[in-house]
Amino acid sequence: MPDARPPAWLGLGEAAAALAGGSLTSLELTEALLARIERLDPAVNAYVQVMAASALAEAQASDARTAARRRLGPLDGVPAAVKDVIDTAGTPTAYGSARYRAHVPAADAHVVRRLRAAGAVILGKTNTHELARGITTDNPHFGPTRNPWDSTRHPGGSSGGSAAAVAAGMAPAALGTDTGGSVRIPAHMSGVSGLKPTFGLVGRTGARPLVRSYDHIGPLARSAADCALLLETIAGPDPQDPDALPRPAGAYAAGIGHDVGGLAAGVIQDFADDAQPGIRALFRQALAALEGLGVSLDAWALPADLNPKGAQVASRSQGYVSVHAMFGGDFSSIAAPIRDRLAVGSGASAMDYIQGLEARAAIQAAVSAALTSRDVLLSPAYPYPAEPIQPFDPRANDTLHASLFNASRHPALVVPMGFVDGLPAGLQIVGRMFDDATVLRVGHAFQQATDHHLRRPPDPEDIF
């Protein structure tokens, strides 16, 4: 029976099935999404570049392959968006900055090449916090992205444009980057699913580096199953990224429906206690749902001797060096809040930096130890929901819910777990290194038992 929903609201897997089955063409789907972008994005501001002409050409090419029975794979003809810190050949990539507004890369980033090789249709480039250095996506050069659930609030960041595009039905999926939570915080605040894969699983060549030892590229989509499908496409060796793993992509989508009964989960009590009351209540309900699926729970607390602040020194120092090289030391075009954050990284001594690297390694060891007897760790994704639009959220510097797992490098998934006063909130699922498949399986099982990820913003045809 054909899906009765408008094409723009199909998930990634649903769209792939419709295209493969012939009930929908890539051109029909792409045209529907472009029409929705034209109608809604002036208010949402999720996109900084809409690649309409090339997207329509890619859709037509996909339909021709389908007619000739030469489909390239499950994502052939499925549209997706790309964060504007990831290079796209022939289309401006500004990295959220004024200085690079006219920058046109000559080559696609590694992940974009993999999407194109799979036949995906690239809809456009999504807005980001300036230089991806913030969690509100209030960009002084490209304007703020607005949260589809409440237009007075931000969608999280720095991949806020990608999350808002998915939440508003302007893309079934999008790529983001995550250095301190920049995929997972927008997933939490915008009510979508977002994965930070294991460090090194997804190659970063052609994505503007922020903090090389913390940077990840990951998918944002409507479900954990859709994240698994996109991860299968973008994961795999990247010879030009020295941190990329040589291993091939796993079969993340194939095993996502396996039973989770018998798995063991540790509840990160510190992060639960730090959350606002409404989010704590949703988290308790999420834990009960997982227990109902046969997942056993126990409590885990962060070891007192960890030094997350020290690890942040290493991160900020690397970030300063990266941006200094990018701008030749001239930060005059960068907004003051970002310059202030860069200044923090400029003053670290060599001893501070080395001790920060040691602190990061200790965090990785502690999280790995916690997962020796457990399959996953669980926490609220962030302690509060989306807030009014603002250039910078100073609490982000002290909130470890997301950034701890950039330091640890473990895979971390956020899926919707409910709403607080009409605003979404997310459940975070953290797994063992290279065991992204189990993280996605737990997220999928939770979504099969709940319907939070199926909710759309009010009046989806007239969000604002």
Query: Catalytic site residues?
Result: 83, 158, 182
Report residue 259 as tokens: 């039973």
Nearest to 357 by CA among 214, 217, 244: 214
Strands, DSSP E only, in 270-411?
Answer: 296-300, 376-380
DSSP string, 179-191: SSSTTHHHHHHHT
Instruction: Give the separation between CA 412 and CA 193, rounded to whole angstroms.
Output: 11
Query: In whole angstroms, what is the distance from residue 92 CA to residue 165 CA?
Result: 19
Whole-angstrom distance, CA of residue 196 vs CA of residue 410: 8
User: Per the structure block, which two tokens stand in for 72?
Assistant: 């390239």
Which CA distances in Å does 96 have to 79, 317, 362? 22, 20, 33
Taking CA atoms, 297 is separated from 3, 12, 19, 300, 448, in Å, by: 38, 31, 41, 10, 19
Q: What is the DSSP letter of 388?
A: B
Q: Give the strand pairing for 121-126 and 79-83.
A: parallel
- Spell out the long-range contacts of 300-304 with Cβ–Cβ below 8 A and sequence spacing 24 or more: 300/266, 300/267, 300/268, 300/269, 300/370, 300/374, 300/377, 301/268, 301/269, 301/270, 302/268, 302/270, 302/366, 302/400, 302/404, 303/366
Local structure of residue 122 (DSSP, 8 states): E
CB of 177 closer than 8 Å to CB of 216: yes
Q: Closest Cα partner for 261 from 435, 427, 433, 448? A: 448
Query: How is residue 421 written in tokens?
Result: 């006063």
Q: Which residue has the tokens 């090289």?
A: 325
Dihedral, CA of residue 394, residue 400, residue 403 and residue 405, to nearest 10: 180
Residue with tokens 């999928």: 444
Kindly list the distances between the CA atom of residue 253 and the CA atoms of 17, 26, 32, 283, 394, in Å, as whole numbers in the listed order.
14, 22, 26, 26, 38
